[in-house]
């Protein structure tokens, strides 16, 4: 297992749309394993391959308190979402230290492949529904801050660029 480098917003690579995984093989299983280790170490509850500069449709999620319920989603797609919405305060490993409220469908049904390449479906609500939608957004080249107002996005980009310049001086 290896820790992977997480890209930070506003890195342009976070906006690349991930390509479907054509074959679930040892390379994809190793990627999922490395992503899980990286997510747990960060620590976070979800990580999309896009965030580690791999532009294939792979997501790892574990919203359990004990961190013992890892879900690997390969080529995930939302096949149903409820009309009712929930507002949830979101954060992101690619936007460290930033949290804001985002409205999303309260419930979703997801279809994905597992590590054996078999299709499966599950329904999600609460934190799991938020996390699934957040990570699929990453695969589609979208970062959660893009759900915020343009004013908040502009201020956030300016602040993060300033912080990056200060880090580069050190």
How high does pLDDT run on average in the chain?
95
Please state the rounded mean pLDDT for residues 16-39.
98
**Coil/strand/helix, residue 151:** helix
Residue 8's nearest CA partner among 169, 152, 138 is: 138
Flag whether 92 is marked binding: yes
What is the structure's pLDDT at 84? 97
- DSSP letter, residue 7: P
Instruction: Give, rounded to a whole angstrom, the gap between the first and last alpha carbons of the chain.
Output: 31
What is the structure's pLDDT at 164? 80
pLDDT in tens, 149-161: 999 989 888 888 8
pLDDT in tens, 64-122: 999 999 999 999 999 999 999 999 999 999 999 899 999 999 999 999 999 999 999 99
* pLDDT classification of 35: cutoffs 50, 70, 90: very high
What is the structure's pLDDT at 1? 72
* Residue 51 in this model has a pLDDT that exceeds 90: yes
Burial 106-135 (b: 16+ CB within 10 A, else e): bbbbbebbeeeeeeeeeebeeebbbbbbbb
Cα–Cα distance measured from residue 142 to residue 4, given in angstroms and rounded to the nearest whole number: 20
Q: Of residues 77, 83, 135, 166, which has the active-site annotation?
A: 135
Flag whether 131 is marked binding: no
Tokens standing for residue 109: 């049904």
> Is residue 121 annotated as part of the catalytic site, yes or no?
no
């Amino acid at each position: 297992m290896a820790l992977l480098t997480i890209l930070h917003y506003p890195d342009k690579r976070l906006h690349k749309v991930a390509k479907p995984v054509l074959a679930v093989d040892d390379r994809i299983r190793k990627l999922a394993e490395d992503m899980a280790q990286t997510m747990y170490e960060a620590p976070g509850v979800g990580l999309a391959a896009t965030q580690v500069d791999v532009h294939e449709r792979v997501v790892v999620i574990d919203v359990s308190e004990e961190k013992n319920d890892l879900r690997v989603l390969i080529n995930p797609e939302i096949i149903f979402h409820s009309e009712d919405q929930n507002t949830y305060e979101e954060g992101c490993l690619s936007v460290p230290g930033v949290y804001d409220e985002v409205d999303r469908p309260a419930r979703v049904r997801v279809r994905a492949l597992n590590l054996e390449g078999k299709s499966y479906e599950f329904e999600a609500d609460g934190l799991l529904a938020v996390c699934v939608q957040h990570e699929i957004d990453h695969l589609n080249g979208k970062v959660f801050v893009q759900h915020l107002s343009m004013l908040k996005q502009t201020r956030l980009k300016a602040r993060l660029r300033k912080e990056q310049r200060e880090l580069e001086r050190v």
